[in-house]
Structure 1
Amino acid sequence: MNWKLIVKDKANQPEKGTYTDWKEQIAKECFFQCIYCSINEAQFGGIDHYHIEHYKPKSIERFKALENDICNLFYSCPICNRFKSNDWPNDADDLDIICYPDPSEYNYSELFDVSSDDYKVNGKYVSTRYMTERLYLNRPQLLYERRETVLQQRAENVTKAIEALQEVIDTQELLKESNKGVIELLKTTQKRNNIRPYKLAEIRK
């Protein structure tokens, strides 16, 4: 899983508009991926298919004032967003109670283990075990995504090894050309997975 700590700062609160106007900013803050399952927006067709996540649900009366608070706004895939909905069992002040750890305070990579055998995530704490079940973080699509990530890393390692080998075998031109084609293919595949399909402004012209 490719979770990252989400840095939130009140100083980045937009001066105009409401949360629906700030989707590009929120997407960038969250590295263009779901804060819960870490799947990139590209896998869902881009920003238009991702949701702004009110970490503390705006439908709960005591959190209504946070509806347009940039520090309460995150980015999630439609599946995790739907599973979480307005669920809020406890405030996130203890990892060993049922709650949703604040992604701006915790790096989720440190709260979960990922099996190298079946690519399933296992929460290290009561809170993250609850999240795993509630958000269905071991759904089949995510297992394939994690496996693909591991394979991509291996492909990168192979690419580096081939490049190093090319520097040594500089007299075998045919092998060089063959390896060059393989490297170019691997690099193109790796880059494709990091390309955003489009920006929100581009499809709303």
Structure 2
Amino acid sequence: MKPVRSKPTKTFNDHKKYKSQLEKDFYKCCGYCDDHHGFSGGSKFFHVDHFAPKSKFKNEYSAYINDYNNLVYSCPYCNRHKSNKWLGKAPFEYVVNNKGFIDPCADEYDDHLFRNEDGSIGYSENDDIGRYMYEELFLFLKRHQICYIMYQLNNKLEQLDELIEKKEQCGGEIPNDIHETFYMALRRFRKYFGKYILEGEDM
């Protein structure tokens, strides 16, 4: 789901205190790569990124930089690779010569980066901004594709589980071979991968 920043109920000087609110606004996923935080150890190991880097604009623009609207719930991989990279001379100058970063909460973000059918992250061939973010954030890492597929598969299995349960409650019959195959797949998925989503273990 597209992250949407809500209005903070309190104002903090320490950006880390916004983490729980960012976690909700970003649906527990990284704003840049969309990896669920369970694949990086849960919220404890996720970062609060300053979209316009704090280290570059900590004086004149300090109020702008520490504003909630400049914060992004980020996985450690994207935050580490983005670091303090910024091409503009001001925090609101985020693109220069078709290179730079787009705020993940902006509708424009999805114009530059998208998911391919195989779950990998992609960008259009002639999109310099998309290419820049893809390369600078290391969005080509295989883990982003694997995490996305696992998370989507988990959701599909849960939906199928609910449908089977509803049909059985209504007196419908599920063929034994389909029933057994589904629950075998569900048990195996949860045994090997469910802990990353449900328990927030590291991958």
Structure 2 counterpart SS, 1:37: coil
TM-superposed CA distance for 1:106, in Å, is: 1.9
State the partner residue of 2:135. 133
- Which consecutive unaligned segments of at least 5 residues does structure 2 have? none
TM-superposed CA distance for 1:52, in Å, is: 0.4
State the partner residue of 1:201. none
State the partner residue of 2:80. 82
**In 1, are the aligned partners of 2:86 and 2:94 still within 8 Å (CA)?**
no
State the partner residue of 2:112. 111
Structure 2 counterpart SS, 1:25: helix
Q: Alpha carbons of 1:79 and 1:22: their partners in 2 closer, same or farther (altered >3 Å)?
A: same
TM-superposed CA distance for 1:22, in Å, is: 1.9
Q: Alpha carbons of 1:65 and 1:43: their partners in 2 closer, same or farther (altered >3 Å)?
A: same
Q: Is 1:122 aligned to 2:118, yes or no?
A: no
1:45-194 residue pairs with structure 2 within 5 A?
45-61=41-57, 62-90=60-88, 91-92=93-94, 97-106=98-107, 108-117=109-118, 119-124=119-124, 125-149=127-151, 151-152=153-154, 155=157, 159=161, 168-169=172-173, 178=180, 181-182=183-184, 185=187, 194=197
TM-superposed CA distance for 1:64, in Å, is: 2.7
Q: Is 1:33 aligned to 2:49, yes or no?
A: no
TM-superposed CA distance for 1:177, in Å, is: 7.2
Q: Alpha carbons of 1:102 and 1:164: their partners in 2 closer, same or farther (altered >3 Å)?
A: same
Which range moves more in the overlay, 69-78 or 150-159? Answer: 150-159
Q: Which amino acid aligns with 1:75?
A: Y
Q: Which TM-score applies when normalising by structure 2?
A: 0.72
* 1:157-182 Cα deviation digits (max 9, x unpaired): 76577668865437x7x669747844
**In 1, are the aligned partners of 2:48 and 2:74 still within 8 Å (CA)?**
yes
User: How many pairs were matched up?
Assistant: 190
TM-superposed CA distance for 1:80, in Å, is: 0.6
Q: Is 1:195 aligned to 2:198, yes or no?
A: yes
TM-superposed CA distance for 1:21, in Å, is: 1.8
Q: Which TM-score applies when normalising by structure 1?
A: 0.71
Q: Alpha carbons of 1:98 and 1:77: their partners in 2 closer, same or farther (altered >3 Å)?
A: same
Q: Alpha carbons of 1:178 and 1:83: their partners in 2 closer, same or farther (altered >3 Å)?
A: closer
* Cα distance in structure 2, aligned partners of 1:51 and 1:66: 19
* 1:58-116 Cα deviation digits (max 9, x unpaired): 1113543334211111110111101001111242469x811211222226444323333
1:17-28 residue pairs with structure 2 within 5 A?
17-28=13-24
TM-superposed CA distance for 1:185, in Å, is: 3.5
* Cα distance in structure 2, aligned partners of 1:22 and 1:192: 26
TM-superposed CA distance for 1:184, in Å, is: 6.6
**CA RMSD, Structure 1 to Structure 2 (Å):** 3.7
**In 2, are the aligned partners of 1:112 and 1:123 still within 8 Å (CA)?**
yes
Which range moves more in the overlay, 43-52 or 160-169? Answer: 160-169
* 1:20-75 Cα deviation digits (max 9, x unpaired): 22211121111111111111111111111111010011111354333421111111
* 1:7-30 Cα deviation digits (max 9, x unpaired): 235x42623452122211121111
- Which consecutive unaligned segments of at least 5 residues does structure 1 have? 199-205
1:4-19 residue pairs with structure 2 within 5 A?
4-9=1-6, 11-12=7-8, 14-19=10-15
Q: Alpha carbons of 1:184 and 1:80: their partners in 2 closer, same or farther (altered >3 Å)?
A: closer
Q: Alpha carbons of 1:178 and 1:147: their partners in 2 closer, same or farther (altered >3 Å)?
A: closer
